[in-house]
Amino acid sequence: MPLEKLQIQSFSDQACTKSTSAPISAFINPDNYTRTSKVMYRDEEVIGNAKQTKVYAGMGNDSLAFSKVVVDGTGLVSLGSYTDADAYILAFRNIVCNFNGSIHQTNFLMVTWGKLKFTGVCDSFKVNYTLFKPDGSTLRAFIDFNIATSVDPVTKSKEAKMTSPDLTHMRTVMAGDTLPLMTYRIYGDSSYYLEVARVNGLKNINALKPGDEIYFPPLKK
């Protein structure tokens, strides 16, 4: 079985359908990576009791982290079409975290390796240089980078609507909440906020206060 290399490809769209360049591969596969999933909670306060009660508020972002991806220019492995280790590091950086002026942000990324397939955006990139030629050019370095998941709006909306759009919800307004934002959390589409306002008898959607109870009706099929 041929050796499968860690591969990273950049795209100009969140759905990762419009590639911006050829993918870049690791010459030496990493020996580990870390996936982190976050769960968000809010505190439910009870007067007279200081103990915390955590109430589920939703899933936070997933992230994928690689550490010590080896870049070697000593001849241990072939650098392929790259002239030296520095050229490879520059190409790697340009794919992972270079600003793309056409979309006004960094590129969206797809990381694949074996059964691993992860899409998102880079939120950190670090190179540790450890070995040099006499002229100061790089012979060996280690790359650390972290990818935060980013789901395209269409997919996110579909997933949200599949969870519970037909259920009745009561939600307590928290500091910073707006009716369109709360509507998006429930239905995956903020455009229903006027219907929610009508059902709740709200004449001014900007008059929400922390502690208010808002009723979110089932969606009409």
Give the pLDDT score at 59. 72
Which positions ≥6 away from 15 have C-beta within 8 Å?
152, 154, 155
Over 70: is that where the pLDDT of 48 sits? Answer: no
Give the pLDDT score at 45. 60
CA–CA distance, 138 with 192 (Å, rounded to integer):
56
Give the pLDDT score at 154. 57
Alpha carbon separation from 194 to 39, 68, 173, 175 (Å, rounded): 29, 51, 16, 20
Residue 169: pLDDT band by 50, 70, 90 thresholds? confident
Whether 7-151 shares its CATH topology with 154-216 is answered no
CA–CA distance, 108 with 120 (Å, rounded to integer):
6
| pTM of the complete model beyond 0.85 | no
DSSP string, 79-115: -TT-SSHHHHHHHHHHHHH-EETTTTEEPEEEEEETT
What are 179-211's pLDDT values in tens digits? 988 888 888 788 888 888 888 888 888 888 888
Question: CA-based Rg of the chain, rounded to a whole angstrom?
Answer: 24
Residue ranges per structural domain of the chain: 7-151, 154-216
Over 50: is that where the pLDDT of 111 sits? Answer: yes
**7-151 has which CATH code?**
2.40.30.200
Over 70: is that where the pLDDT of 142 sits? Answer: yes
Give the pLDDT score at 158. 53
Over 70: is that where the pLDDT of 153 sits? Answer: no
Name the β-bridge partners of 140. 72, 131
Which bin fits 58, alpha (ψ -120 to 50), beta or left (φ > 0)? left
Mean pLDDT of 78-104: 93
Average pLDDT over the chain, rounded to an integer:
86
Sequence letter at residue 85: A
Write down the CATH superfamily of domain 154-216. LysM domain (3.10.350.10)
Q: DSSP letter at 166? A: T
